[in-house]
Amino acid sequence: MQLSRFVWIFPLSGLLPAADQQLEVQPLPLADSDRPGDLTLKLSAYNQQDNGGIEQVDEDASVFEAVILARKQITDTGTLSLRALGDVVSAASIERAHNADWQAQQGGASGNYRVGLGGGWSEQGDQVDWRIGVQFAAEYAYLSSGANAGVTWNLPGRNTALSADLQVFMDTVDLIRFNGDEEGSEARDTYTLDLGWQQVLTPYDLLSLSLSHTEQSGFLATSYNSVFTPTSEYSEELPDSRSRTALTTRWRHSFGTDSAGEIGARYYTDDWGLSAVTLDVRYSHYLLGRRLLLEPTYRLHVQQAAKYYRESFIEPLSEYRTSDPDLGDFIGHMVGLKAGFLGGSLFGYKADWDVSLFAYDRDNGLSAFWVIIGQRVEF
């Protein structure tokens, strides 16, 4: 069970610029006090039910997360953003009945907290936008520091945008095994290059293609994960390098002045032998004079297991082995609904609220549901 992999990256926005950023005429310079800013708070509660997964391990889990993001345009073209994050994790796996002597010292599963800070700067130009960011995070038995930089080229006519983003993480893992054995610390380095292409097809259609490639090295197993033979339990062992590639395309269509829909698809493969196809369908519809925005979502994920994955093992064990259900075969269906309440006010400032509910059912028995609530205030 991987409880704390709530990765935190920091571009200010997504891989590609928002449509309004890409298509609008550049604004006139503003006085300092008129430059826009906003403060966003998001809270999430996640719950996983164990109706399968690893037979010997209770994988029930819950995670609560809070994120605060503040953004302020500082210059005519530059925006500063700051972020703080906190997680609280609880997991039934810390009381595994099969190992009564185990003292729940493991890292991610029982870390029970995660905190992080980050900041970024973005510049928007006539043809070229760029962004940089840094971030730090700490959790029990894990430290992370990361940086990112990216650039977007808006081609003449602003119908085509090309982007490139690089993310680097230099992390340190304390190796605390499933049985409480401590084996020191090891590095985990991650380099990700994202290349994006966003194209205006028609006055009603946008298309994007992105290629994401990640190279990882260092300790890449989950230190507290284990595998089982009929008579014993052993630590998970995985290679110290991983090369991962994803190709994604998304098509967004305007159905009218108040609605839009999107279909996206991703193909993923890596050199651990894991491959997956993901389909994602979203719909957005304004109601009540654009004061309510409803957004239903459906996601299908079909995954073929890593070559090191087995549900159970027999001696002698292979050099690399895992029973992590997240690296196994499964088909997952996610449905969700987000409701945004727009155009309100809070202490005289323009404010929006949103609430979202999601359910994710996997055919390997690990299902989850979660809720996200948010508030955004403009200042």
Partner 1 sequence: MRISQRCGCILLAGFIGLLAGGCTPVRVNQKQRLADPIMAFDHDHLHSEMMGHIITPREGAIGGFSSVGAGGCGCN
Q: Which of residues 11-70 bind partner 1 (CB under 8 A)?
A: 11-16, 18-20, 23-25, 40, 42, 44, 46, 65, 67, 69
* Contact call for residue 180 and partner 1 (CB under 8 A): no
* Contact call for residue 298 and partner 1 (CB under 8 A): no
Among 60, 233, 262, 311, binds partner 1 (CB under 8 A): 262
- Minimal distance, residue 230 CB to partner 1, in Å: 26
Whether residue 36 has a cis bond before it, omega within 30° of 0 = no
Instruction: Give the interface size with partner 1 as a residue count (CB under 8 A).
Output: 127
**Cα–Cα distance between 31 and 104 in angstroms, integer?**
56
Task: End-to-end CA distance of the chain: give it in Å, rounded.
Answer: 41
The footprint of partner 1 on residues 143-172 (CB under 8 A) is 144, 146, 157-159, 165, 167-169, 171
* Contact call for residue 142 and partner 1 (CB under 8 A): yes
Scanning 93-101, 203-211, 226-234, 313-321 for contacts with partner 1 by CB under 8 A, the matching segment is 203-211
- Minimal distance, residue 218 CB to partner 1, in Å: 10
* Contact call for residue 205 and partner 1 (CB under 8 A): yes
Closest to partner 1 by CB, 3 vs 101, is 3
**Cα–Cα distance between 190 and 7 in angstroms, integer?**
12
* Contact call for residue 360 and partner 1 (CB under 8 A): yes
**Cα–Cα distance between 369 and 314 in angstroms, integer?**
34
The footprint of partner 1 on residues 310-349 (CB under 8 A) is 324, 326-327, 332, 334, 338, 340
Scanning 29-37, 94-102, 177-185, 270-278 for contacts with partner 1 by CB under 8 A, the matching segment is 270-278
* Contact call for residue 265 and partner 1 (CB under 8 A): yes
- Minimal distance, residue 13 CB to partner 1, in Å: 5
The token pair that represents 339 in the structure block: 């409701």
Q: Are 368 and 49 in contact (CB under 8 A)?
A: yes
- Minimal distance, residue 327 CB to partner 1, in Å: 5
The footprint of partner 1 on residues 206-235 (CB under 8 A) is 206-210, 212, 214, 216, 220-223
* Contact call for residue 355 and partner 1 (CB under 8 A): no
Among 91, 137, 161, 351, binds partner 1 (CB under 8 A): 137
* Contact call for residue 178 and partner 1 (CB under 8 A): no
Please provide residue 12's backbone torsions phi and psi, each rounded to the nearest 5 degrees.
-60, -40
Among 293, 321, 323, 377, binds partner 1 (CB under 8 A): 293
* Contact call for residue 286 and partner 1 (CB under 8 A): yes
Closest to partner 1 by CB, 35 vs 213, is 213
- Minimal distance, residue 241 CB to partner 1, in Å: 12
The token pair that represents 312 in the structure block: 């159970």
Burial class (CB in 10 A: 0-12, 13-18, 19+), 47: middle
Among 56, 199, 229, 375, binds partner 1 (CB under 8 A): 199
* Contact call for residue 80 and partner 1 (CB under 8 A): no
Closest to partner 1 by CB, 7 vs 128, is 7
